[in-house]
């Protein structure tokens, strides 16, 4: 049981928690809640593994499913206490995204992918579960928001890939730096309410 395994489990738990809380205003029953929690937790990685044509991670190791279900049930039970700390959860979500995305890059490179597809796999793994959650619960997808969500992933993963190309850089260190940059920039975006400058944004309006 290595460190990246534990990190993956921890990220699974954080995604399940945030998935359940995102769904909480929807008059859902416990089974629906568990479905949303599990899908949010494992959805991105499932798409990643299907595209990579490797065995889907939770089929080979049921611990991910058990962790996601346990986290969803615990979140349901403790929802009143947790809801008062919603802001805090955005940072937990940022941590999960950072871990999933940077590990997905490692997995993709290990399978022989080039830098561009590996970067895409990082983004898919980071945002896939959240997008499926939004679709299942009828919310605007996170892509539709001006909140910076995909951008920090793109930024951190790009740095990670650059570092991995540099001779003499420890791959583990590059991955930790990539993940830390995702977490740090996403957290800063949450804390300071960063948005893309208007010049990089399409004005809303009639289509």
By CB under 8 A, name the binding residues for a second copy: 22-33, 35-36, 38, 46, 50-53, 55-56, 58-59, 62, 65-66, 76, 79, 113-117, 120, 123, 127, 131, 135-138, 140-141, 143-146, 148, 150-151, 154, 195-196, 200-207
Q: What is each CA distance from 140 to 3, 56, 116, 131, in whole angstroms?
A: 35, 27, 27, 9
112 DSSP 8-state letter: T
Cβ-based nearer residue to a second copy, 84 or 168: 84
Query: Can you tell me which residue has the tokens 């022989």?
Result: 112
Determine phi and psi for 124, rounding to 5 degrees. Answer: -60, -45
Least distance CB 183 / a second copy (angstroms):
17
Characterise 138 by phi-psi region: left (phi > 0), alpha (psi -120 to 50), beta (else). Answer: left
Q: Return the structure tokens found at 123.
A: 């983004």
Characterise 205 by phi-psi region: left (phi > 0), alpha (psi -120 to 50), beta (else). Answer: left
């Amino acid at each position: 049981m290595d460190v990246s395994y534990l990190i993956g489990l921890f990220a699974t738990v954080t995604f399940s928690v945030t998935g359940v809380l995102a769904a909480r205003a929807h008059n859902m029953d416990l089974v629906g809640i568990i479905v949303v929690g599990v899908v949010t937790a494992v959805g991105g990685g499932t798409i990643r593994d299907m595209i990579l044509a490797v065995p889907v991670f939770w089929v080979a190791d049921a611990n991910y499913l058990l962790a996601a279900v346990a986290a969803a049930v615990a979140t349901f039970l403790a929802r009143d206490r947790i809801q008062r700390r919603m802001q805090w959860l955005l940072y937990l979500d940022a941590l999960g995204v950072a871990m999933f995305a940077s590990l997905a890059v490692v997995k993709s490179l290990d399978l022989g992918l080039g830098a561009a597809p590996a970067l895409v796999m990082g983004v898919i793994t980071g945002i896939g579960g959240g997008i499926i959650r939004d679709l299942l619960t009828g919310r605007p997808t996170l892509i539709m928001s001006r909140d910076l969500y995909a951008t920090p992933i793109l930024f951190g993963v790009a740095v990670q890939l650059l570092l991995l190309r540099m001779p003499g850089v420890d791959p583990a260190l590059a991955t930790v730096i990539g993940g830390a940059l995702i977490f740090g920039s996403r957290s800063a975006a949450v804390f300071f309410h960063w948005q893309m400058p208007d010049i990089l944004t399409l004005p809303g309006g009639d289509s």
